[in-house]
Amino acid sequence: MTGTVRLDLHVHSAHSPDSSLRLEEIVGFLPRAGLRGFALTDHNTVAGHRELALLAARHPEFLLLPGVEVSTLEGHLLVYGVGELPPIHRPVTETIAWAREHGGTPVLAHPFRLSHGVGRAVATQAPVPAVEVVNGHTSARANASARRVAADRKLGVTGGSDVHVARDLGRAYTDFPASASTPRELLDALASGLTSAGGRSLTWSGRLRVGARTFGLLARRGFRPI
């Protein structure tokens, strides 16, 4: 899509328990992935935000957006633009309210994924401005269900690779208006429904690969969920 700013809005670094990607490595992959930037959305931590800010200062050609993927009672929620960790393992509506009160933008992550999705009942009611409708580690069917809910509710849309290994960066993406040139302008566009989402869903072979990797990581954590 020409005339837009393309970012991957769902990226995990080594600060997440299921990724070993270094932030500098992610930045190095941006040009080959066709991206102007990415959002750092580690699981239940903002420990990488300081390093992200330093990288943003060193690489002004890229847009690096601070975020976090929060585990709520119902499923995972993406929160962009906050500098501290939202409350975890709380009702999703409570976490959404916290995000808004702290100047953040809450987005439902892969809402129809069987693992960690909030499900239909929440997806059709949660007071969010946008829904992740293309997640690179989610089936095409689940992503299509998310897109239908966003369309029915007239909400904004996002795409993100849910990347844990470098080769998946940019598998899914969000296109912003070309005028968005700062993190604040990205957040404003997201909150105003001015984005579009694209990319690839997870194939059957990909689901087998990711499933095996996820099981191995889960075993290493002593089968503790994220």
Name the residue among 193, 192, 135 with its Cα closest to residue 9.
135
pLDDT in tens, 101-150: 999 999 999 999 998 999 999 999 999 999 999 999 999 999 999 999 99
Bridge partners (DSSP) of residue 65 are: 39
Whether the Cβ atoms of residue 186 and residue 165 lie closer than 8 Å to each other? no
pLDDT in tens, 36-88: 999 999 999 999 999 999 999 999 999 999 999 999 999 999 999 999 999 99
The pLDDT of residue 212 = 52
β-strands 37-40, 172-177: how paired?
unpaired
The pLDDT of residue 204 = 60
The rounded percent of the chain whose pLDDT value lies above 70 is 89
DSSP one-letter string for 156-182: EEEEE--BSSGGGTTSEEEEEETT--S
Helix or strand (DSSP H, E) at 18: none
- What gap in Å lies between CA 78 and CA 160, rounded to an integer? 11
Average pLDDT of the chain, as a whole number: 92
Domains and CATH numbers, the chain: 4-220 (3.20.20.140)
Structure tokens at 205: 């072979």
DSSP one-letter string for 39-90: EE--BT--TTHHHHHHHHHH-TTSEEEEEEEEE-SSSEEEEES-SSPPP-SS
Name the residue among 201, 190, 128 with its Cα closest to residue 158.
190
- What gap in Å lies between CA 147 and CA 157, rounded to an integer? 8
Whether the Cβ atoms of residue 82 and residue 102 lie closer than 8 Å to each other? yes
